[in-house]
Amino acid sequence: MIFVRADANEHIGAGHVMRCKSVAEALAERGEEIIFVTADHRGDSLLGGFPSLCLDSDFRNMNQELPKLEELIRINKPSLILIDSYSVTEEYFTELHRLVHTAYMDDLNAGFWNVDCLINYNIVATLYDYSRYEGTGTQLILEPLYAPLRNEFRAFQPHVIRDKVSDILISAGGADPAMMTEKIIRTVCPAFCDTRFHFVIGSLNPRIESIKKLSGRNIILHINERNMSNLMRECDIAVSAAGSTLYELCACGTPAVTYVLADNQIGAAEEFGRLGIMINAGDCRNNDDISSVIAEVLRGMNKAVRAEMSRKMQRLVDGKGAGRIADVIISLCSRA
């Protein structure tokens, strides 16, 4: 049995749970029993049928949940716990590591974590200084080939680069706190009347009903879309917040414009832009006119630009990262 500790809600979005679910599915394929452990029930709809245990705790104060989590570990005896949260502390990992093997999904290198395995598949991972882990026994996984994508992204096929852009995908994250969906509908869509805009609306977005009222002739809403890989492959360009969706777009080879929605996205957006893999439109939190910037970027994405971006994207991510992480975890579980 393996525990997965992750949360999803309107404050932190769906990314933590979604990437952990991809790893959970890969582990289940390999015969492992998976149980999610959550602070509350707000992300239950995203678990895809996996059983869960609720701590009834504050997701922002993980030290507070330690007594209950430790009791669940003693009762269920998991061989490993995979943790994905920005609210962890050094004390949290030290306490858990006494009871069970631990693995951590790290994006920020914000502390020194007492874990058996640290996973950072982000494009900026190799720019961080992880030298403090030398000689500690912690296994470091630091490259985008480990990006934990869903099964649907495994099937590699070159993206079709059309002469004319006819379909653009817009993904603003699970909760879209910056209301980028509404801004793009009002500013960008009218400037491209002959282009279809496909807006992916996550289940955590609290404004679904009001967004439905903004729908227009060239606006298509995909609420709780179940086949993102097909949608990405059908679209000529994507506009996405700089979260885990970027790695899905890479696997599909869909040329993309990205923007920053939260502090933890800054490094990735800048690095994707610096390497010419995607175009970074900037931080939507300090640019009220970012939708106009996005519109201008879209106008400059000719066929040659899109083709080069697509090639670079698919060299970076192949869609098999969840399986690679699962294999590492299973290897860790076999340790004494």
pLDDT in tens, 279-311: 999 999 999 899 999 999 999 999 999 999 999
Q: How many CA atoms lie within 13 A of 244 on its CB side?
A: 27
pLDDT-derived band at 204 (thresholds 50, 70, 90) equals confident
* 0.75 surpassed by pTM: yes
Mind listing the pLDDT tens digit for each residue in 75-119?
Answer: 999 999 999 999 999 999 999 999 999 999 999 999 999 999 999
244 pLDDT higher than 90 = no
pLDDT digits (tens, 9 = 90+) for 40-83: 999 999 999 999 999 999 999 999 999 999 999 999 999 999 99
Query: How high is the pLDDT of residue 336?
Result: 63
8 Å CB contact between 74 and 99: yes
> What are residue 38's DSSP bridge partners?
54
Per-residue HEC secondary structure of the chain comes to CEEEEECCECCCECHHHHHHHHHHHHHHHCCCCEEEEECCCCCHHHCCCCCEEECCCCCCCCHHHHHHHHHHHHHHCCCEEEEECCCCCHHHHHHHHCCCEEEEECCCCCCCCCCCEEECCCCCHHHCCCHHHCCCCCEEECCHHHCCCCHHHCCCCCCCCCCCCCEEEEECCCCCCCCHHHHHHHHCHHHCCCCEEEEEECCCCCCHHHHHCCCCCCEEEEECCCCHHHHHHHCCEEEEECCCHHHHHHHHCCCEEEEECCHHHHHHHHHHHHCCCCEEEEECCCCCCHHHHHHHHHHCCCHHHHHHHHHHHHHHCCCCHHHHHHHHHHHHHCCC
Residue 174 has pLDDT above 90, yes or no: no
The residue among 187, 143, 165, 150 whose CA lies nearest residue 317 is 143
The string of pLDDT tens digits covering residues 24-39 is 999 999 999 999 999 9
Name the CA dihedral angle for 327, 330, 331, 336, rounded to a multiple of 10 degrees: 170
Query: Mean pLDDT over residues 248-274, rounded?
Result: 95
Alpha-carbon span 270 to 129, nearest angstrom? 18
pLDDT score recorded for residue 262: 87
pLDDT band at 233 (very low <50, low <70, confident <90, very high): very high
Q: What is the largest distance, in Å, between two alpha-carbon atoms of the chain?
A: 62
Average pLDDT over residues 163-191: 93
- How high is the mean pLDDT of the chain? 95
Instruction: Report percent pLDDT > 70 for the chain.
Output: 100
The length of the chain in residues reads 336
d(CA 73, CA 94): 14
State mean pLDDT over 225-238: 94
Q: Distance between CA 248 and CA 317 in Å, rounded? A: 8
Nearest to 143 by CA among 321, 332, 323, 336: 321
User: Six-digit token pair at 250?
Assistant: 């890479």
Domains of the chain: 2-150+319-333 (3.40.50.11190), 155-316 (3.40.50.2000)
Please provide the distance, in angstroms rounded to a whole number, between the alpha carbons at the two ends of the chain.
15
- Confidence at 246, pLDDT banded by 50, 70, 90: very high
Q: Considering only 1-5, 178-182, 204-208, 244-248, which range has the smallest mean pLDDT?
A: 204-208
